[in-house]
Amino acid sequence: MPEFLQYGFMQRAFLAGIIIAAIAPMIGIFLVLRRLSLIADTLAHVALAGVAVGLLVGVNPVLAALLVAVLGAMGIDRLRATGRLPGEVALALFLSGGLAVATVLISLGRGFTVGLFGYLFGSITTVTPADLWLALALGGTIALSVLLLYRELFAITFNEETARISGIPVDSINLLLSVLTALTVVIGMRLVGVLLISALLVIPTVVGIQVARNFRQALGIAILHSVSSVIVGLLLSYYLDLAAGGAIVLSALVLFALLAFARRVL
C-alpha cells in the first residue's frame, strides 16, 4: 500500500473525494448546458447558512446544511418557475442572502468561526466515517436519479419546449434537478469547501463538452477529468502540505489548460 494510504484519514479523504468527483459532473453537465452553473455556487452559499445554523444550535452542521440547501433549491425553483424575476437575479438574491445569514449567525455565535472555516475552504482530511456514509448515501441517490431520468434530463436540456410537448413533467424534473444540485453541493462542501464546489461541477463538464463525440462520452470524460483532478490534488496536498480544496481545483484547471493547449497544437 502506498505510504499516503496507510492513514485512515487519507483513505477516507480519497474515498470521499472520488465519490464527489464522480457525482459532480453528472449534475454539472445538465446545469452547464442550460446555463445554470451559477445555481451550484448559490446553493453552496445557502448551505453555508445551514452550517452556521447547525453550529449555533448544536445540530450536525452537515445535516443542517442539507436541509437549508434543499429548501433553498425549492425556493429558487419556485421563483424561477413563476418567472417574476429573471433567473440570474433570483440566484444573486439567494447567494448574497445565504452569505449574509451565515455571517450574521457567525457574529452571534462568536466562538465557532474555526468550524465554519473548514466548510468555507473544505477540510477533506477531517472526513469522519459518518461523513463518508452520508456521501455514499447521497451520492448513490444522485447517481441513481440521473441514471433513471437520463433521457428526460437530456430532452429537457436540449430544448425545454419540445420536452414539454413530449409529455415530460418538465417542472417536476427541474425541481428535482435543483434538489439534486443541493445534495451534490453539500457533499462537496466537506471536500473542497463552499467557495470552490461549483468548480467541480463546471470545469470537468466544460472539458467533456469540448472534447467528446457524443453526450455519454462528454459525461464520461467529465467524470474522468474530475476524478483525476481530485486524486492529483489530494496527492499534491499530502506531499506538499497544501490546502486540499485549492489543490484539487487548481489541478482541474491545469488539466483543463493542458487539454486546451494540446487540442490547439495537435
Partner 1 sequence: MSARPVVELAGVCYEYDGERVLDDVTLTIEEGDFLGIIGPNGAGKTTLLKVMLGLLRPSCGTVRLFGTDVSRFQEWWRIGYLPQGTAFDPRFPATVEEVVASGRVSRQGVGRLFTQADREAVEHVLELLGLLDERNRRIGHLSLGQQQRVLIARALVNHPDLIVLDEPLVGVDAPSQEQFYRLLHRLNREQGTTLVLVTHDVGVIASEVAKLACLNRQLIYHGCPEDFLESEALAKVYRPGVRIVSHTH
Closest contact distance (angstroms) between CB of 205 and partner 1 is 10
- Single out the residue of 2, 58, 83, 167 in contact with partner 1 (rule: CB under 8 A): 167
Q: Which of 56, 152, 228, 256 binds partner 1 (CB under 8 A)?
A: 152
Residue numbers 183-202 binding partner 1 by CB under 8 A: none
CB of 170 to partner 1, least distance (A): 10
> Please, what is the minimum distance in Å from the beta carbon of residue 159 to partner 1?
5
Q: Is 151 in the site for partner 1 (CB under 8 A)?
A: yes
Considering only residues 22 to 51 of the shown chain, the ones binding partner 1 according to CB under 8 A are: 33
Q: Is 218 in the site for partner 1 (CB under 8 A)?
A: yes
- Residue 142 phi/psi, 5-degree rounding, is -65, -50
82 binds partner 1 (CB under 8 A): no
Q: Which CB, 7 or 158, lies closer to partner 1?
A: 158
Q: Which is nearer to partner 1, 122 or 208 (CB)?
A: 208
Instruction: Rank residues 78 and 151 by Cβ distance to partner 1 and give the closer one.
Output: 151
- Number of shown-chain residues binding partner 1 (CB under 8 A): 28
Residue 151 C-beta: closest distance to partner 1, Å = 5
Give the shortest CB-71-to-partner 1 separation in angstroms: 25
How far apart are the C-alpha atoms of 253 and 256, rounded to whole Å? 5
Chain contacts with partner 1 (rule: CB under 8 A) = 33, 148-149, 151-152, 154-155, 157-159, 161-169, 208-209, 212-218
